[in-house]
Amino acid sequence: MKILLIGKTGQLGGDILKNGSAEHEILAPGRSQLDICDSENLEQIISYKPDVVINTAAFHNLALCETEYQAAFRVNCIAVRDLAQICNKIGARFVTISTDYVFGGEKRMPYTESDRPTPLQVYGISKLAGEFAALSTAPQQSIVIRTCGLYGKSGSASKGGNFISKRLADARRSDVLDMGCDQRVCPTSTPDLSKAVLQLIAHPQAEAGIYHLVNNGECTWYEFTKAIYEILSLKVKVNPVDRQGLSDGMRRPLYSVLANTKAKALGIELPPWRDALEKYLSTISSAHI
C-alpha cells in the first residue's frame, strides 16, 4: 500500500511514519515540497500515485483561529476539500484528522459518530467544515477520524510542546499547580492512534465516513495531570480549578469524550488512557523529568 502522508513533523504524522510496516510504502514530503494551501501545487500528488492520502496537517491554535480565521479555514477546510478532490480524481482513499471540538459538550455520555456537532469556536467550526468538505467532495473515498487530547514524542510546535511536556516543565518550576477540573476528555497517545489509523485503512470492511479513535475511558485534565505526577512519583500538589469551560478567554466543551463505536465494531480499539500514559511516560528519559 502506497501512502502519501501530509504533516510528518506533527505528533500524529511523526508516529504514523514511525509505525508503518513493510506493507506500507510511506511517502512524506515536507511543506517546502508539498504545500496544501497551494491548490496548484497539490496537483503533483497525482505523480505520487498513492493508494491512500493521510492528512494530519491542521491549524489548531485555538486563540489564533479566532483572529486568523481565514488562515484557519484555508488549512482546516479548503485544503481538505482540495485534497479530497484530487483523491476523487485519481481513485485514492482520503483520510483526514478531525477533533472532539466539533462538539459543544452538552452531553454527559460519550459522543458517537452520528451525534450532531455544535462547535463553540472558530477552530471547531473550521474543522467541521473540513469534515463536510471531504465527505461531500469524495463521499466514497473519504474517512474522517475524530480524536481528542493528542500527545506524542514529536510534541506540537505551534503549542510549544504537548500537554505532558508542559506539566513536567511546571513540576520543575513549582511543587504546586492549579489545573482545570471542568473539562472531561479522553487524552490520546499518538503512538496508539497512529497504529489504529493504519489498521483502519488496511481493514477490508472499513467504509468511508466518520470514525472516532481515542484511548478508552475519560478523565479531566486535573485527573490526567495527577496521574502524570503519580506515575513518575513527582511530589507536586495539584489543585482542581473549575473554569466553566473558559481558558485563555476561549470557550471549550465541558464534555467532549468520544465513543469508538464504528472502529470497535471492526475490532480496532485503543488501550485505556491510563495504560497508554504509563507506557508513554516509561519512554521519557530522566533528563526530561
Between CA 69 and CA 75 the distance in angstroms is 10
Q: What is the pLDDT of residue 157?
A: 57
Enumerate the domain spans of the chain.
Answer: 2-156+189-216+257-271
Residue pair 52/197 in contact (Cβ under 8 Å)? The answer is: no
Q: What is the pLDDT of residue 156?
A: 58
Q: Which fold has domain 2-156+189-216+257-271?
A: Rossmann fold (3.40.50)
- Main-chain phi, psi angles of 90, to 5 degrees: -100, 0
E strand or H helix at 276, and its extent? helix 273-281
Q: Is 101 tagged catalytic?
A: no
Q: What is the pLDDT of residue 223?
A: 98
Q: What is the pLDDT of residue 23?
A: 83
For the entire predicted model, the pTM comes to 0.94
Q: What is the pLDDT of residue 147?
A: 98
Between CA 150 and CA 184 the distance in angstroms is 14
**Catalytic residue, candidates 111, 123, 222, 255:** 123
Between CA 260 and CA 88 the distance in angstroms is 27
Q: What is the pLDDT of residue 286?
A: 56
User: What are the residue ranges in the chain where pLDDT is below 50?
Assistant: 287
Q: Nearest-CA neighbor of 209 among 111, 131, 142?
A: 142
Q: What is the pLDDT of residue 288?
A: 61
